[in-house]
Structure 1
Amino acid sequence: MSHPASTPSAPPESLPPAPAASPDAGQDPERYWLEHVYKGGSRQLTVRAVIAGMLIGMVMCLSNLYVILKTGWSMGVTITACILAFAVFSGLKGLGLFKKEFSPLENNAMGSVASAAGYMTGGGNMAAVPALLLLTGTLPSAGWLVVWFAVISALGVFAAIPIKRQLVNIEALPFPTGTATAATINALHGHGQEARSKAWLLGGAGLLGAFVAMLRELRSVWLSTHAPSWLQPPLIPSKLSVPFLSIRGRPAGDWGLSFDLSLLLIGAGALMSWKTGWSLLLGAILTYGFLAPAMVDQGYIAEVSFKAINTWTLWTGAALLVSSGVLSFAFQWRSVARSFKALSGLFGKKDEGAAADPLAGIECPPAWFPLGFAVLGPVAVGLMAYLFQIPVWAGVLALPLAVVMGVIAARVTGETDTTPTKALGPVTQLVYGGLAPGNVAANVMSANATGGVGLHAADLLTDLKSGWLLGANPRQQFIGQLFGVVAGAAIVVPVFNLLVPDASVLGSEDFPAPGVLVWAGVSKMLSVGLQALHPSARVGALCGALLGVALVLLDRWAPKAAKPYIPSPSGFGLAIVLPGSSSISFFIGAAIAEVLRRRKPKLAEAAVMPVGSGFIAGESLMGIALVMLKAFKYMPK
């Protein structure tokens, strides 16, 4: 996701030049950057930047894990991490614990470490592995999964090396989130009121989100049995039903059309686009107000509960999400074609020697790419064979496929700010569905491999775009990314095992995990065929697929004035597999943010991102803390 950029009113000398300071036509952009932008003598990948990045990235990884299991969305990491790091180091310097200021390039390097750790939940990692648990009932041990995640993610980092200079230095692709991160660091280290306001808003919203989550979850636990009544927290229900509204003689809340009292969902909605927000509401109303009651009447859905409804609607939602994602990706064929052109140059003969290269001592050496794959590739193939019983030939095939997917994902992200893992994952599943029919593990985990490589290649290039604008050393950012990969893999697996002790947790109202259900559904369909589905579910899947195609085509070909009124395929599709209460809360957050953008644009630019991120982080981390307290017997279950 991209966030609105902000610029300082008077940037100090340590910050990058104004955007107008760019090379003239015909001038070598790399040499110009080296002479006018690069700040080789500045502090960058310091010990404190690495430690802060690993710690903040691990916290953000836990937050994203909780959010993905709740909503299927993966939230932005880097900008929030940079604001948080700035606030922490400013406070520590004020206390006299640090003498040197936390520099802009240190913050940028910290962001590279934090994003690698925080995005460990993306790229299919926290869709494929839970899907495998859902389909087979078992997973490899925690230690092996940590190694798996670290290896796949590190391969993605190495896959970014040969295309970085072409996409970032030469073509200057926008990478909107990377550009926004550089502008945010500019604003923060300008030491203006904006920096302090964002830090306070992020922290305050986080505390409020944690407090509300605690009040909601502590209704019948330790305080209710050990504390006097005047110390007990007020009761906050988890959901509020819509009064006086009934469907088929039952309260609307029974069908899922209620308001979820979750600041996490409201904050996440605020970070979405308005179009996605109202599409979620529309999808929820149509699914739980009309489609589900009709299917109950027909006897296709056994009972009025989220689990029973979702068992049927999953196929419609999954088909819509996959068809719209693949078609949207197909319309980006020019980016794909340019990606393959870049691929052809990876192994081409280089005319210039290292001595003629102005950035030879700053950029990652080209040899690191084949060396990284030579070392980690066999490890990845071995893990596929040992952990998931994927044939060696299929594992070997996954490596070049992962490089292709990484190059495509990086370019599409650079041009659109959207990493197409929702399309690349199903494409890989289709490939392996034909090559290894009936092998569920090969189908799911090969897609995890290619998706993980694609995400981390795109993530590193997004961070390197920030560094390019700020004058950072790309080789140091690359090294920082590897530190983050290790930190993210080490934290995400044990906490996932704590949150999801068995497959029954997935697809519940507590953890709807829509992304997991989609991956599992696609794999199951490819493994056993459409004939294994109930005829009504096949019709639902066909309707979902056609609707996904129709929405993409309408959005592409409709008149410009009509496009704002065409539902978002991703929002509409997610609403079909999410609880209706979650979609309603998403909509409320998106509506609040949209009203602010229209009526108070300056306030919206300053407050929406830090407040929304704070709500998400506060509630998700408190939710994980409460689960841990229950697991370790400090709270009754």
Structure 2
Amino acid sequence: MSQSPSQTPSPSNLRIQPTDSPGDAGASAAMDPERYWLEHVYQGGVRQLTVRAVIAGMLIGAVMCLSNLYVILKTGWSLGVTITACILAFAVFGTLRSLRVLKAEFTDLENNAMGSVASAAGYMTGGGNMAAVPALLMLTGALPSAGWLMVWFAVISAMGVFAAIPIKRQLINVEALPFPTGTATAETIRALHGHGETARRKSRLLAIAGGIGALLVTLRDARFTWLANIPEKVSLPFTLLGKKASAWSLSFDFSLLLVGAGALVSFRTGWSMLLGAVLTYGFLAPAMVTQGAIAEVTYRSINSWMVWTGSAVLVSSGLLSFAFQWRSVARSFKSLAGLFRGKNAKDEEVDPLAGIECPPAWFPLGFAILGPIAVFLMAYLFQIPWWAGVMALPLAVVMGVIASRVTGETDTTPTKALGPVTQLIFGGLAPGNIPANVMSANATGGVGLHSADLLTDLKSGWLLGANPRQQFIAQLFGVVAGAVVVVPVFNILVPDASMLGSEEFPAPASMVWAGVSKLLATGVAALPDSARVGALCGAMLGIFLVLLERWAPAKAKAYVPSPAGFGLAIVIPGSSSIAFFFGSAIAALLRRAKPKLAEETVLPISSGFIAGESLLGIGIAMAKAFGVMPK
């Protein structure tokens, strides 16, 4: 049975205390956080990586991966899936046990192992994967076959799993970095398996919200003769330059997915997105249309100009925020140097976790096997010079160390910074080679960013007393599940490049990657004068907002627009930002008025809205693609 937080001191809060008896066994445990964890937290005898946990994780992870695919094409953000997956698994296994289909209890560590599988599958859309591949499609008009792309995604993501091995013990076991999302997942699993009524209430809310989201998308998108569809959106009640507000993308969307996603971000991000949408589509876009810089009043035409300004805000703010984390970067390089200092025989002899942690040799062995495959795929699929492919491998390790520490300390994986950085590196190494620029960066950034995301999952296991070696194996199962499902469904949702950058799928992350790559290939001079001015202003604005956030008085920081939220609002439809704002505002009001109620309801309801609408939206899109339903 699992132990409650009150019974088991959390190793993440362990602080070494001096002792008068250094030879005493208890004192030595207190002096060594790993030995303390082994003696007081580790649950070696509890079921963990069972067959049912793997199967459930692969199925739920595949579903959450598809949900994330839909969300990232809509919003550019890849949402965390582990907590939602754990709630779903608990509800499913609890129902099966109440029906007497299953006899054995679904343990907390089984749920954690299931979450490891599901998170690896769900993160298949992260790590730059679903930014780089759509960007390549936009830039070249073609992609490799589905089978080759599955292999590509699986290899890159698996290398990210192996890259986490040498830094896991330092960042999680020894330094006890917080990894807030991982800590929250552990607390959620404890609550689910420790308080049945709370768990059942959350699972019911998740199911009800999912049903409501699915019903809404059916009424909106399903084309049946017997069904009267509701409109996709309702225009705001004003005109600009003689055009309805909806022509400028300023409307209310009938989308609970966007409202749910907004509830999961901070209110500061929500109102920053609203402000960005109003300024972009209410003032800047009409001014550019009047000047002739934007040819017509359509979202695609507006976005083709705005993407340079929005990308500049996101890239400049991401890079500067990352630069301000230089202490984390410096500590990362110190940790990286430690990877090449082998332990002596005495250290190995007294290693308390030698039989539980992944052996250090697995890291070079994994790269020795997968590295040549990755280099071959880069050369064969994307015509990347072999030497550039070889260089991507050590760079991937460096990126993984940096991204993992930043994620552990701030809970923010620095995708917006490391993605463009890797593009800049390969833009200099292979100038003018667009596939090399995009996909080399996908390999380097993808491995590093996957490593950071998956360490968050290992943090949950550390707090719960799980076996890290079993979690590592679980993540490899998830990699396979995610790669197998994400590629064919992407090809159905996005049959050609014309779908990207549209109101249906704005794909802002891909627009940024494509913009950076195009800029590196053609040079700034190829941009229209107005777009260059817009990009310069965007870069300056991104820098200004970061500096203002950093230097403003503590009480004033809440009133500084979020650079990420403001920049994102420039490259997605105004209607999406409006929905995000409403979601964040409702959640913020509830957290202020009824904090306990908000804690119990916001996550399951929001996750249900997102899962219900995205999954049925994918189902309807597939039905239309195969001719089962009229378009």
| TM-score normalised by L of structure 1 | 0.95
1:262 to 255, 260, 271: 255
Secondary structure, counterpart of 1:39 in structure 2: coil
Q: 1:598 aligns with which of 575, 581, 592?
A: 592
| Aligned 8 A contact 1:256 1:581 in 2 | yes
Distance 2:203 2:391 in 1: 46
Alignment of 1:203-214 (within 5 A): 203-214=207-218
Contact 1:16/1:37 (8 A) holds in 2 = no
1:487 aligns with 2:481: yes
Indicate if the aligned counterparts of 1:317 and 1:573 stay in contact, CA closer than 8 A: yes
2:458 to 446, 451, 464: 464
Name the CA distance, whole Å, in 1 between partners of 2:464 and 2:229. 49
- Of 84, 89, 94, the residue aligned with 2:93 is 89
Say if 1:11 and 1:381 are closer, same or farther in 2 by CA, change over 3 A. closer
Matched, 1:434 2:428: yes
Which residue of structure 2 lines up, in the alignment, with residue 304 of structure 1?
297
Deviations along 1:217-254, one digit per CA (max 9) or x if unpaired, are: 12xx23x1xx4xxxx3x4311101122x2222322122
1:444 alignment partner, one of 434, 438, 448: 438
Quick one: distance in 1 between partners of 2:7 and 2:514?
Answer: 46
In the alignment, what sits opposite 1:334? 327
Question: Which position in structure 2 is the counterpart of 1:109?
Answer: 113
Distance 1:278 1:287 in 2: 14
Letter in 2 for 1:101: E
Residue number in structure 1 paired with 2:366: 372
Does the Cα contact within 8 Å between 1:421 and 1:454 map onto a contact in 2?
A: no
In the alignment, what sits opposite 2:317?
324
Aligned partner of 1:354 among 340, 348, 357: 348
Task: Write the mapping of 1:4-153 to structure 2, written as runs, cut at 5 A.
Answer: 17-19=8-10, 22=14, 24-25=16-17, 27-153=31-157
Structure 2 CA distance for partners of 1:288 and 1:476, relative to 1, 3 Å: same
- Which 5+ residue runs of structure 2 have no aligned equivalent? 19-30
SS at match of 1:236: coil
The alpha carbon displacement at 1:347 in A equals: 1.0
Cα shift at 1:559: 1.0
SS of residue in 2 equivalent to 1:55: helix
Identity %: 74
Q: Which residue of 2 aligns with 1:188?
A: 192
Corresponding residue to 1:609 among 603, 628, 631: 603
Distance 1:12 1:160 in 2: 27
* CA shift for structure 1 position 561: 1.6
Alignment partners' CA distance in 2, 1:179 and 1:13: 14
Shift, 1:23, TM fit: 6.0
Contact between 2:399 and 2:449, CA under 8 Å: does it hold in 1? Answer: no
Q: How many equivalent residue pairs?
A: 617
Residue 554 of structure 2: SS of its match in structure 1? coil
Q: What is the identity, as a one-letter code, of the residue corresponding to 1:310?
A: N
In 2, Cα distance between equivalents of 1:471 and 1:272? 30
Counterparts of 1:381-460 in structure 2, within 5 Å, are 381-460=375-454
Q: Quick one: distance in 1 between partners of 2:394 and 2:185?
A: 31
Which residues in structure 2 correspond to 1:156-175 (within 5 Å)?
A: 156-175=160-179
Query: Structure 1: where are the runs of 5+ without partners?
Result: 1-9
- C-alpha distance in 2, partners of 1:583/1:16? 44
CA distance, structure 1, for counterparts of residue 307 and residue 413 of structure 2: 23
- Superposed, 1:231-310 pairs within 5 Å as 232=227, 234-243=228-237, 245-310=238-303
Task: Spell out the pairing of 1:521-560 with structure 2 (5 A cutoff).
Answer: 521-560=515-554
Report the AA paired with residue 49 of structure 1: A
CA distance in 1, matches of 2:186, 2:66: 25
C-alpha distance in structure 1 between counterparts of 2:250 and 2:94, whole Å:
45
Residue 305 of structure 1 deviates from its aligned partner by: 0.5
SS in 2 for 1:76: coil
Distance 1:500 1:413, change over 3 A: same
Alpha-carbon distance in 1 for matches of 2:479, 2:181: 20
Going from structure 1 to structure 2, the CA distance change for 1:23 and 1:295 (only over 3 Å counts) comes to closer
Deviates more, 1:250-259 or 1:403-412: 250-259
> 1:354-379, CA deviations, whole angstroms, 9 ceiling, x for partnerless residues?
32111000000000000000110011
The aligned counterpart of 1:7 is none
Secondary structure, counterpart of 2:555 in structure 1? coil
Query: 1:363 is paired with a residue of what secondary structure?
Result: coil
Aligned match of 1:502: 496
The residue aligned with 1:512 is: 506
**Matched-pair contact (CA < 8 Å) for 1:315–1:541:** yes
Return the letter of the residue paired with 1:465.
Answer: K
Query: Which whole-Å CA distance do the structure 2 matches of 1:235 and 1:164 have between them?
Result: 51
- Are the equivalent residues in 1 in contact too, given 2:272–2:562 (CA < 8 A)? yes
Whichever residue aligns with residue 325 of structure 1, its letter is G
Q: Is 1:586 the counterpart of 2:580 in the alignment?
A: yes
The alpha-carbon deviation at position 353 of structure 1 amounts to 4.1
Cα deviation, 1:100-128, whole Å, max 9, x if unaligned, reads 01000000000000000001000110000
**CA distance in 1: counterparts of 2:329 and 2:7, whole angstroms:** 32
Q: Give the C-alpha shift of residue 461 in structure 1.
A: 1.3
- CA distance, structure 2, for counterparts of residue 257 and residue 460 of structure 1: 38
- Name the SS of the counterpart of 1:561 in structure 2: helix
- For 1:454 and 1:461, the matched residues in 2 are separated by 11
Change (3 A) 1:433 1:625: same
State the distance in 2 between where 1:13 and 1:578 align.
44
Is the alpha carbon distance of 1:536 and 1:359 closer, same or farther for their aligned partners in structure 2, counting shifts above 3 Å? same
Distance in 1 of aligned mates of 2:239 and 2:496: 35
Query: Which whole-Å CA distance do the structure 1 matches of 2:507 and 2:57 have between them?
Result: 27
Code of the residue aligned with 1:50 in structure 2: it is: V
The 3 A distance-change label for structure 1 pair 480 and 14 is farther
Q: Secondary structure of 2:234's match? A: strand
> What whole-Å deviation, never above 9, does each CA across 1:537-595 have from its counterpart, x for those lacking one?
00000000000000000000111121111100111001101001111011010110011
Paired residues of 1:23 and 1:32 also in contact (CA < 8 A): no
- The Cα shift of 1:513 comes to 0.5
* Aligned twin of 1:620: 614
Structure-1 separation of matches of 2:594 and 2:214: 27
Give the CA deviation at 1:11. 7.5
Q: In structure 1, what residue type is equivalent to 2:185?
A: T
Moved more, 382-391 or 458-467: 458-467
Aligned partners of 2:2 and 2:108 also within 8 Å: no
C-alpha contact 1:270 1:589 (8 A) present in aligned 2: yes
Report the 3-state secondary structure (helix = DSSP H, G, I; strand = E; otherwise coil) of the residue aligned with 1:25.
Answer: coil
2:165 aligned partner, one-letter code? I
Contact 2:221–2:229 (Cα < 8 Å) also in 1: no
- Distance in 2 between residues matched to 1:562 and 1:247, nearest whole Å: 34
Instruction: Report the 3-state secondary structure (helix = DSSP H, G, I; strand = E; otherwise coil) of the residue aligned with 1:562.
Output: helix
Instruction: Choose 445-454 or 516-525, whichever is displaced more.
Output: 445-454
| CA RMSD of superposed structures (Å) | 1.4
Cα distance between partner residues in 1 of 2:430 and 2:132: 17
